[in-house]
Amino acid sequence: MKALVIGLGSMGRRRVRCLQQHGVDAVAGFDTRADRRERAAKEYGISVRDQLAADDLRGFDVVVISTPPDQHHTAIEWSIAAGKPCFVEASVIRAPLPALDERARAKGVLVAPSCTLRFHSAIRDITQAVQSGRYGKPCNFSYHCGQYLPDWHPWEKVTDYYVSNPLTGGAREIVPFELTWMVDAFGWPQQVQGMKLRTADVGAPIDDTYAALLRFDGFVGSLVVDVVARQAVRKLTLNFERASLSWDWDSGTVRIYEADAARSVELHQPRSSAHAGYHQNIGEAMYVAEIGSFLAAAQGKASFPHSLQDDIRVLSLLEAMEAA
């Protein structure tokens, strides 16, 4: 199999690693920046190019799009035109996607938007607890995802890459990144309300904090995303009719208090190693699994769990939060 990775920043290089772990040895990469091309070639032994045209995609079996979010639509359009299955990093701009989805479905081309956290072992356990009905229905949940934006790429300034653009800002990007697993676990919310605010100087003129209230069928949830947290955090508290669940990604354990049995259960998560330079909790396993799912879908062996239509709905939720 021949794969092309468009964009060789930190995520593009991660996807190169994922492809190689799945035995894809013919990987090529494109980036406009010479430093990124040189690093990818040196670290992973891939061929790199400094120019790319739409017709070039016809020489590959699959395409991985790891460009900044405001450039996704061009690479998606090229992939559809070439009839090549493509995987796309987390999106944050909805406007071009409905027309692209129409074209992709008309041509029968797979477009697989990223849904990384669905492949995290703890999120899978949480989703199973919700969907099994074992503890009754959910009543409410609160979830906080906090990170410090300058820590994302400590080797470069925040203004050197897309997270400094208000349209593709770090906090704005993480909201749909989290919503992709929430709508899978809890279903689609019937109503959303939200607010956003710039609360600190993170090196860019962006809203650094988003807060939302989501109303589902018979229960509510709150979501806070920020890029000002000096200690990275992901914490969930979820109350069922007959249980309470908590998860802190630092602990590596999902804890459930089962009221009927008056006992606490701990679901310990397998440890996944982080790549050098990343936070210890950002393990590679979920990214490897995600690319494995894409490759299986590209070969017609399975379906990818998140469609472009799903992604459009998620981004519509983001827009509704901002408009509320």
CA atoms within 13 A on the CB side of 172: 26
Distance of CA 317 to the CA centre of its chain: 15
Domains of the chain: 2-113 (3.40.50.720), 117-279 (3.30.360.10)
Please tell me the pTM assigned to this model. 0.93
- Cα separation of 38 and 177, whole Å? 29
- Provide the pLDDT for residue 203: 94
The tens-digit pLDDT sequence of the chain (324 residues) is 999 999 999 999 999 999 999 999 899 999 999 999 999 999 999 999 999 999 999 999 999 999 999 999 999 999 999 999 999 999 999 999 999 999 999 999 999 999 999 999 999 999 999 999 999 999 999 999 999 999 998 889 999 999 999 999 999 999 999 999 999 999 999 999 999 999 999 999 999 999 999 999 999 999 999 999 999 999 999 999 999 999 998 888 999 999 999 999 999 987 766 556 655 656 799 999 999 999 999 999 999 999 999 999 999 999 999 997
Residue 155 pLDDT: 87
Residue 144: its pLDDT value, please?
Answer: 98
pLDDT of 276:
62
Residue-level pLDDT at 270? 78
| Exposure class string for 264-302: b at 16+ Cβ within 10 A, else e | eeebebeebeeeeeeeebbbbbbbbbbbbbbbebbeeee
